[in-house]
Structure formats: C-alpha cells, structure tokens
Structure 1
Amino acid sequence: MTALPAAWWPPVLLALVLAGDAALSARPPRFIRECLDGVGFPRDWWWTLIVIKALAAAGLVVGIWTPGVAVAANVGVIAYFCCAAAAHLRARSLGSAFWVNCLGMLTLSMAVLVLSLTL
C-alpha cells in the first residue's frame, strides 16, 4: 500500500464539495446559519470554518501527488464532522441539518477515505 490515493477522483470529489461548502459559508444561506446557531457556535468564529474547509480541500488535492497528505486531510475532515455530529447531539439539534448535512458529509468523507485506500 502506498500513501498516495489509489484513485484520484474520490479526494477531488470531496475537495470540490468542501470548496463549495467553504464558498457558501462566506455568506451563509439560511440552512447553514440555522445549523451553526442550532449548535451554539459563536458567529465571531464562523470564519474559522471557511479556513478549515478550504485548507482541507487544498490538502486533498495536493495529496494526489504528495504521499500522505490526502489521507491526513481526509482523516481531518472525518474528525471535523465527528465533532460537528457531537455538537449537534450535545445541543439536541437533531433536525434535517444534522441528518442530511452533518451525517451526509461524514458518510461522504468516510466513503472517500475507504475508496482512496482500496480502489
């Protein structure tokens, strides 16, 4: 096994989704505002999520050519969405934002890691 993704497209797919999420977060639509307010994430810190998602997307793309970087970025994305899920559970904010957005992204991130290591 190599530290490079077995296929280039799973990390690129996740990178595109994260880049889109980061772009949306610059001027968050209602569903993102409700999600962040629902878990009590302070508005003064919302900018950090844009930075995290943009860096993760960049790491996924760079990792196609640099051993270990895509895997590390992918694991970081999984950790991020595990923390987001924990925040939703702690705040009892279990609406569609939790089920569709948070768990959907967690599932996508885990699938990309598995596909990256096995294809």
Structure 2
Amino acid sequence: MIETTPWWWMSVALAAILLGDALLSIRPPRFISDCLEGVGFPRDWWWALVAVKLLAVAGLLAGLVYPGIGAASAMAVAGYFVCAAVAHVRAGFLGQSFWVNCLGMLALSIVVVPVAYTI
C-alpha cells in the first residue's frame, strides 16, 4: 500500500513549480521558446506540454488524498523529464536550460517519489 510521508509537502512543491511552468508555457517567454525550438519540438504541439503539466499538477494534488495517484504522477513527471533530457542530448542543445531547468526538474521529480511516498 502506498502512503504519504511527513515529507508530503515535496509533492505539493513539485506541483506548484509545474503549475508555474504550465502557466508560463501558455505564452512562453523567450527562454522556454528557445528551449522548445532548440530541441526541435514542433510549435503546433506546444499546447500538449501545457496539458501534460496541468494533468501532472492535478495528479500530484490528488495524491494528498489518494497517495497512489500522487506517486504515479510523480513517477510520470520524472519520466517526462527523462524524455526532455534525451531530447536535449539528441539535439545537442546542452546549454543552461538543459543543466539548470531540465536536469534540475528531473532531479527534483526523482527525489519526490521515495521521499514523499512510502511504497
């Protein structure tokens, strides 16, 4: 059975960061659009990233009541950022956005799963 730990607030922090990222991605500032263009992500699909991030936020917050959903959402967020890291490496787009934003969010999402949930 999956349960939350006293560190449940880490999943809320991840949700808050993802919410901010999703809201910024609606009308992406230069650093986000440069990143998406740098990895070759089609502009016609940028809306899908907003939807995915908002669904992840909903799942992480639902995890406060249903820990299994929160743990699954945190794992999915980690998977999302693994895919983002692979896209950066494949495109050779290894600037600051890769090292700080992409790998930083990957590290945070990987830490949330074992720290915020007991599996």
Q: Which TM class, normalised by the smaller chain length?
A: over 0.9
- Note the residue ranges of structure 2 that are not aligned, 5 or more in a row: none
2:56 paired residue number: 56
1:5 is the counterpart of 2:43: no
Q: Distance in 1 between matches of 2:51 and 2:20?
A: 12
- Note the residue ranges of structure 1 that are not aligned, 5 or more in a row: none
Q: Distance in 2 between matches of 1:58 and 1:52?
A: 10
Residue type of the alignment partner of 2:99: W
2:111 paired residue number: 111
Deviation digits for residues 65-114 of structure 1 (CA, Å, limit 9, x no counterpart): 11310000000000000000000000000000100110000011111112
Deviation digits for residues 34-58 of structure 1 (CA, Å, limit 9, x no counterpart): 0000000000000000000000011
Residue type of the alignment partner of 1:5: T
| Between 60-69 and 98-107, the greater mean CA deviation after superposition | 60-69
Mapped contact 2:85–2:98 kept (Cα < 8 A)? yes
Q: TM-score, normalised by structure 2?
A: 0.94
Q: TM-score, normalised by structure 1?
A: 0.94
Q: Distance in 2 between matches of 1:66 and 1:25?
A: 28
Aligned length: 117
Question: How far does residue 117 in structure 1 lie from its aligned partner after superposition?
Answer: 2.8
Mapped contact 1:4–1:65 kept (Cα < 8 A)? no
The alignment-based identity, stated in percent, is 56
> What are the within-5 Å matches in structure 2 for residues 4-83 of structure 1?
4-7=3-6, 8-83=8-83
Over aligned residue pairs, what C-alpha RMSD do you find? 1.0
Mapped contact 1:77–1:109 kept (Cα < 8 A)? yes
Partner secondary structure for residue 48 of structure 1: helix
